[in-house]
Amino acid sequence: MAVGLYMEVAGTWQQALFSTCFALSLTTMAIPEPLALELRFLYVVMAVLTVLVVNRFFFPTSLKSQFHYNLNQLFHMHHLYLQMLESSLRAPLDYGIICDQQIRYHLIHDQILEYLKKAGDEESEFIRELLWISWYMVSEAEQMLYLINDRRTNHPDIKQMEDYFMFNALILSEIQKDMNMKADAVIQTGLPAAYKRNIEGERQLSVLMEQYSKQISRLYRCVCGRSRPAV
């Protein structure tokens, strides 16, 4: 039960099942009476009923509204990655923060895919293409983050990199507006002086910057070419 508890993805029903069984096992070892087991099941049933009542009568959440929320969060995650990249230029980030954001992104990505499989949305092909581009963007952002955060680069021009990240954040905000989403606010200290997609002497980083720029341009064209807003 302990292995299952720590191997399953947090927040899934499998992880909840293993954690409940693990807690029951420890409780019955400490208290040989069946009272602990009965109370545990009673509390679980009460929690399930409470959640059902709240979701049904007070805060109803439909699959469609959850899908729209996840789509908003997907773009928000791209802004967070750009912010992490910018922060890592000044000082290395804690890898716990990076791992948390990676897990969060992939959970959101998977939830959107699950919705598309069940709902058969009219714009499913558009959303799938959007997810595919988004996945490539995150992959390239994570590689850039690794190079910068682990100091595998020879002190790139910080101002040039900040302008690069800001310009991409502005494009993401425009894409959000085109999709009728609430755009993430981009803190500007003035317009970027230049949008250079390569760093002199940093071949690996330059390749990733070039690829990321191509993907965000592809995302912009994908959104502009759709027949109607997705959200």
pLDDT tens digits, one per residue of 113-150 = 988 888 766 678 889 999 999 999 999 999 999 999 88
Cα–Cα distance list, 214 to 11, 56, 195, 198 (Å): 34, 44, 13, 13
* Domain final position from 30, 58, 86: 58
Tell me the residue ranges of DSSP E strands in 174-215.
Answer: none
Whether 159 is in a domain gets the answer yes
Of 13, 30, 58, which closes a domain?
58
Residue 230 lies in a domain: no
83 and 188 share one domain: yes
Which domain range does residue 27 map to?
Answer: 2-58
Rounded (5°) CA angle 122-184-192: 120
Residues 77 and 35 in one domain: no
Phi and psi, residue 63, nearest 5°: -60, -35
Residues 44 and 110 in one domain: no
**The two three-digit tokens of residue 138, written as one number:** 């995150």
What mean pLDDT comes out for the span 6-24?
Answer: 79
Does 156 share its domain with 70? yes
Say which amino acid occupies 181: M
231 belongs to a structural domain: no
Q: pLDDT over 70 for what percent of the chain?
A: 89
Q: How far is CA 138 from CA 9, 27, 96, 135, 162, in A?
A: 20, 42, 17, 5, 18
Helical pair 63-90 and 95-119, crossing angle rounded to 10 deg: 160
Residues 42 and 75 in one domain: no
For residues 112 and 133, what is the distance between their CA atoms, to the nearest angstrom? 14
Interval 73-122: pLDDT, tens: 999 999 999 999 999 988 889 988 899 999 999 999 999 998 888 876 66
Number of domains in the chain: 2
Question: What pLDDT, in 10s, does the model give residues 143-159?
Answer: 999 999 888 777 667 88
Quick one: 205 and 132 in the same domain?
yes
Q: Are 148 and 38 within one domain?
A: no
- The pLDDT of residue 33 is 66
Local structure of 199: helix, strand or coil: strand
Q: Is residue 102 in a domain?
A: yes
Same-domain status, 186 and 215: yes
CA–CA separation, 152 and 140 (whole Å): 15
Helix, strand, coil shares of the chain as percentages rounded to 5? 75, 0, 25
Give residue 134's pLDDT.
95
- Judge whether 169 lies within some domain: yes
4 neighbors 18 (Cβ within 8 angstroms):
yes
- Model pTM above 0.85: no
Largest CA distance in the chain: 72
What is the rounded distance in angstroms from the CA atom of residue 114 to the CA atom of residue 127? 12
**pLDDT at residue 136 in the model:** 95
Quick check: is 229 in a domain? Answer: no
Structural domain contains residue 125 = yes
Same domain, residue pair 112 and 179: yes
Q: Establish if 106 belongs to a structural domain.
A: yes
Q: State whether 121 and 27 are in the same domain.
A: no
User: Token pair 């039960």 is at which residue?
Assistant: 1
